[in-house]
């Protein structure tokens, strides 16, 4: 059951494409007046002003957080610095790192008690 399929050559395809463009008017280029332009944000002064205030505020807060983290990391013990550095951003201050280390010590102590005095 071999099907005899004829494929048109590139000349026929090009000719059919040109006919289609001429009939539908797709080939005509649009002028600038037909293309709508996006609204400018500078038309609304209040939006621009609020956007500038937000950017200034957010950049200031970000710098303060960075400075606070650096100050905390400088005067913290090496173990706390290690936990802050390798927590993947989850632990950001000295107090939280100390709580994590305390919890880790309690878990290790409980495991060692279980191993020494657990079921024989």
Tens of pLDDT along the chain (120 residues)?
A: 555 566 667 778 888 888 888 888 754 555 445 555 555 555 677 888 888 888 888 777 777 776 666 665 567 889 998 998 899 889 988 899 999 999 999 999 999 999 999 887
Q: How far apart are the first and last CA of the chain?
A: 79
3-state secondary structure the chain: CCCCCCCCCHHHHHHHHHHHHHHHCCCCCCCCCCCCCCCCHHHCHHHHHHHHHHHHHHHHHHHHHHHHHHHHHHHCCHHHHHHHHCCCCCCCCHHHHHHHHHHHHHHHHHHHHHHHHCCC
pLDDT for 37: 56
* 8 A C-beta contact, residue 92 and residue 73: no
pLDDT for 83: 92
User: How far is 72 from 66, CA to CA, in rounded Å?
Assistant: 10
Residue 10 is encoded by which pair of tokens? 């590139």
């Amino acid at each position: 059951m071999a099907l005899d399929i004829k494929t048109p050559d590139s000349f026929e395809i090009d000719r059919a494409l040109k006919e289609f463009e001429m009939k539908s008017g797709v080939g005509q280029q649009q002028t600038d007046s037909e293309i709508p332009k996006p609204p400018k944000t500078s038309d609304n002064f209040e939006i621009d002003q609020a956007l500038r205030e937000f950017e200034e505020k957010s950049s200031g807060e970000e710098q303060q957080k960075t400075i606070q983290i650096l100050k905390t990391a400088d005067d913290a013990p090496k173990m706390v610095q290690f936990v802050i550095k390798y927590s993947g951003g989850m632990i950001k201050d000295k107090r939280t790192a100390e709580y994590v280390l305390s919890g880790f010590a309690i878990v290790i102590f409980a495991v060692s008690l279980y191993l020494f005095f657990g079921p024989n």
